[in-house]
Structure 1
Amino acid sequence: MDTPDRSRSAEELMAVVSQLNRRMRAASPQGSLSPSQRIVLGRLHDGPATTAALARAEQVRPQSMRVTLAALEESGLVERSPHPTDGRQVVFSLTESGRRRLTELRQAKETWLADAIATRLDTDEQRVLAQAVELMKRLVQS
């Protein structure tokens, strides 16, 4: 494949991945969570984190992350605790309610996607999609 074809494929892949993400977000229960709050819940699923670490990961200012965390804390979805080694900092982690909410969000997305695959693609197309997923995994490997 020559460079223009690769560039076009890259452009089309970025567009379709973006559209797919939007469709899955639309399929999950909105409730009162903003997109940034949803992202923070997902990050905290990997383990507790400081405000600064979350802000760096999302490339936002710490002040913006503090606002997001305050809203999540007020909703009972995250909780703060003392940093294990630095008494000047706190770490945030998911509460049980936050874990349940994150599970609901992810389950709704997965249900929508599985249904879309089952109803919009025939068996051969589903097999091709499974192969494409494996190729995409290779693209993101370090």
Structure 2
Amino acid sequence: MVSGNGTDRPADEIVAAASELRVVASRLLRHLRSARGGIEMTPSQAVALSRLGGEGPMSVADLARAERVRPQSMRTTLGVLEERGLVTRAPHPSDQRQVLMSLSAEGQRLLRMAHTAKEDWLATAIATKLAPAEQDALIAAIPLLSRLVED
């Protein structure tokens, strides 16, 4: 059900566009996930690493809550990342029962490599699969897509 349409566009057309956009976004995300530059990592490990890289140090409980997983699952994920030297732990400044997890220098390097590989894949796809006018249309649509995901 579409409410607050605000346009003369029929609701069924908006629903169809939403369906197509969902499918395209899913396919795009799949391509981006596979373009990690040969970095071996499970999706849950990649998400935890990315969240720490984007939001800074976090407790296991906060990470688990943010990713909507059980704390035990997040501990397991972070344990593997810690064994690989990608995250480090430090005492929580105000709660002695918790630790703060953060990216190590190697974790930061790996995250930068993954981001670069994904951006390189996407830039190449845009440059080689889209005509200049299509590239312009895509670039013009980015602010609109950003508005869709604003909180």
Q: TM-score, normalised by structure 1?
A: 0.96
Does the CA-based 8 Å contact 2:39-2:114 persist in structure 1? no
| 2:89 aligned counterpart, secondary structure | strand
Q: How does 1:1-142 map to 2 (within 5 A)?
A: 1-45=9-53, 46-142=55-151
As a proportion of its length, which structure holds more helix? 1
Structure 1: distance between partners of 2:39 and 2:146: 31
CA-to-aligned-CA distance 1:74-95 (integer Å, 9 cap, x gap): 0000000000111111010000
Amino acid aligned to 1:12? E
CA-to-aligned-CA distance 1:23-79 (integer Å, 9 cap, x gap): 111121343311110000110012000111111111111110000000000000000
- Residues matched between the structures, number: 142
| 2:95 aligned counterpart, secondary structure | coil
Q: TM-score, normalised by structure 2?
A: 0.91
Q: What fraction of aligned residue pairs are identical, expressed as a percent?
A: 49
Q: Please provide the CA RMSD for this pair.
A: 0.9
For structure 1, which runs of at least 5 residues remain unmatched after alignment?
A: none
Dislocated runs of 4+, deviation >4 Å: none
